[in-house]
């Protein structure tokens, strides 16, 4: 593509900005939903919640880098920029590549660590699971450090990355280095998202709940696909300066991957928000003019949902601990190869009727389970 004006966006720049901002906004909404769910369950945010917030902040930093990159001639061939006397924009692009590589690595490292901590909190009664999870977390941290170090050390001196005319230096094999980063990234993604599936498949829960839970982790396939697409694009283009499509797609996929990972990590704990929203919608429908024509059974059901709304907002952490202890008991039995006691608590519905007294249950808490 020929050079445009210094402050003009190319088609590639517009595409990069739109996709980056849309996915970053979706990740932001997911994090808001995560903390709203914590509020509804009266659960104090844990380390994994703050790691997701940190990942979101860094992801927006990467988005800012993509926007600045787009305004510095993204999509214009390097030879065209030089011919137009805009060498400074080419240098800005090469500097931004280093900054983007660092923010990309930090954002993904944070969200992967958050996901693993969430899984350990849920399935911590399985010793084998904990060992594999901590080993995977170590691998993710090492991958983050590897990615950052390659960004700074692949060319020596570092200024040789963006100025190979006035500087004397050398660079390693860029394609091999960044493809290796992508391969390790995909491997860790696959491990994280298949890690809990054997335990989930063996839990005694309703089939619909099991499929919904496994489907949630299946969303991680999109994260794996984003990492694989980015790696394939790097291998295909091999940093060809005459190909404007390659850098554009690399920037886009590197923005999409951490955003999708943040959404998946947040969906793990946002079930109470969906229950609350469903109750609100049912309450709104019951208040419509035609609601009076419904049967008394329907009216009773609406009343049950109204009661659910009140209890959902006043649920204490003790109620959460109760459901967690029941689930832990089932997971412990799984480790011995046989389930001696099962407790099924449904995430997708709440009973408004109080539990029988004298059994150690507080009627103020609706029955829920993960």
Q: pLDDT tens per residue, the chain (370 residues)?
A: 555 555 678 999 999 999 999 999 999 999 999 999 888 888 889 999 999 999 999 999 999 999 999 999 898 888 888 888 888 888 899 899 999 999 999 999 999 999 999 888 888 778 888 999 999 999 999 999 999 999 999 998 998 888 877 878 888 888 889 899 999 999 998 898 888 878 877 777 676 666 666 666 666 778 888 888 888 888 877 666 677 788 888 899 999 999 999 998 888 888 777 777 778 787 778 777 655 554 444 444 445 444 544 554 444 444 444 445 554 555 455 444 443 344 444 444 444 444 444 444 444 434 333 3
Contacts of 232 (CB under 8 A, 6+ apart): none
Identify whether the C-beta of residue 55 lies closer than 8 Å to the C-beta of residue 260.
no
Give the pLDDT confidence score for residue 77 in this predicted structure.
83
Beta pairing partners, 156: 170
Give the pLDDT confidence score for residue 1 in this predicted structure.
53
The boundaries of every CATH 1.20.1070 domain in the chain are 11-269
338: helix, strand or coil: coil
Give the pLDDT confidence score for residue 236 in this predicted structure.
77
* Residue listed under structure tokens 């923005």: 255
Give the pLDDT confidence score for residue 43 in this predicted structure.
86
* Residue listed under structure tokens 């001196």: 157
Q: What is the spatial distance between Cα 135 and Cα 75, in angstroms, rounded to a whole number?
A: 41
Give the pLDDT confidence score for residue 278 in this predicted structure.
76
Total-model pTM: 0.74
Give the pLDDT confidence score for residue 221 in this predicted structure.
79
Q: What is the spatial distance between Cα 108 and Cα 57, in angstroms, rounded to a whole number?
A: 12
- Rounded CA Rg of the chain: 25
Report H helices in 123-173.
127-153
Report H helices in the chain.
11-40, 47-70, 78-83, 87-122, 127-153, 174-194, 197-202, 207-218, 220-237, 245-267, 271-286, 296-314, 317-335
End-to-end C-alpha distance for the chain, whole angstroms: 53
Locate 169 and state its tokens: 């230096």
Give the pLDDT confidence score for residue 367 in this predicted structure.
39
Give the pLDDT confidence score for residue 185 in this predicted structure.
92
Positive or negative: CA dihedral 321, 323, 324, 329: positive
Distances 289 to 145, 285, 293 between C-alpha atoms, Å:
61, 9, 9
Q: In CATH, which of 1.20.1070, 1.10.150, 1.10.3470, 1.20.120 is domain 11-269?
A: 1.20.1070
């Amino acid at each position: 593509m020929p050079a445009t004006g210094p402050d003009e966006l190319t088609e590639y720049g517009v595409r990069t900005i739109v996709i980056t901002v849309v996915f970053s906004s979706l990740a932001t909404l997911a994090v808001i939903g995560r903390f709203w769910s914590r509020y509804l369950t009266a659960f104090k945010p844990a380390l994994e919640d703050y790691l997701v917030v940190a990942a979101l902040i860094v992801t927006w930093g990467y988005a800012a880098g993509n926007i600045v990159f787009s305004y510095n001639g993204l999509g214009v061939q390097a030879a065209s920029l030089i011919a137009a006397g805009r060498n400074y924009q080419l240098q800005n692009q090469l500097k931004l590549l280093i900054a983007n590589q660092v923010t990309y690595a930090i954002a993904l490292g944070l969200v992967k660590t958050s996901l693993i901590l969430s899984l350990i909190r849920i399935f911590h009664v399985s010793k084998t699971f904990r060992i594999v999870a901590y080993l995977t977390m170590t691998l993710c941290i090492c991958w983050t450090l590897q990615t950052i170090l390659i960004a700074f050390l692949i060319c020596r001196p570092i200024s040789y990355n963006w100025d190979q005319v006035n500087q004397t230096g050398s660079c390693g094999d860029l394609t091999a280095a960044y493809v290796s980063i992508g391969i390790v990234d995909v491997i860790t993604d696959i491990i994280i998202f298949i890690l809990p599936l054997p335990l989930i498949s063996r839990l005694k829960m309703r089939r619909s709940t099991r499929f919904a839970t496994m489907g949630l982790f299946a969303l991680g396939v999109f994260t794996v696909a984003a990492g694989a697409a980015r790696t394939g694009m790097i291998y295909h283009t091999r940093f060809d300066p005459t190909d404007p499509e390659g850098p554009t797609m690399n920037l886009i996929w590197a923005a999409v991957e951490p955003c999708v990972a943040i959404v998946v990590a947040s969906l793990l704990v946002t079930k109470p928000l969906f229950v609350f929203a469903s109750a609100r919608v049912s309450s709104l429908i019951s208040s419509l003019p035609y609601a009076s024509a419904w049967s008394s059974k329907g009216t009773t059901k609406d009343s049950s949902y109204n009661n659910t709304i009140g209890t959902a907002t006043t649920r204490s952490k003790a109620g959460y601990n109760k459901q967690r202890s029941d689930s832990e008991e089932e997971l412990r039995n799984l480790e011995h190869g046989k389930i001696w006691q099962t407790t099924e608590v449904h995430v997708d519905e709440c009973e408004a009727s109080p539990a029988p007294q004298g059994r150690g249950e507080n009627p103020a808490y609706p029955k829920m389970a993960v």
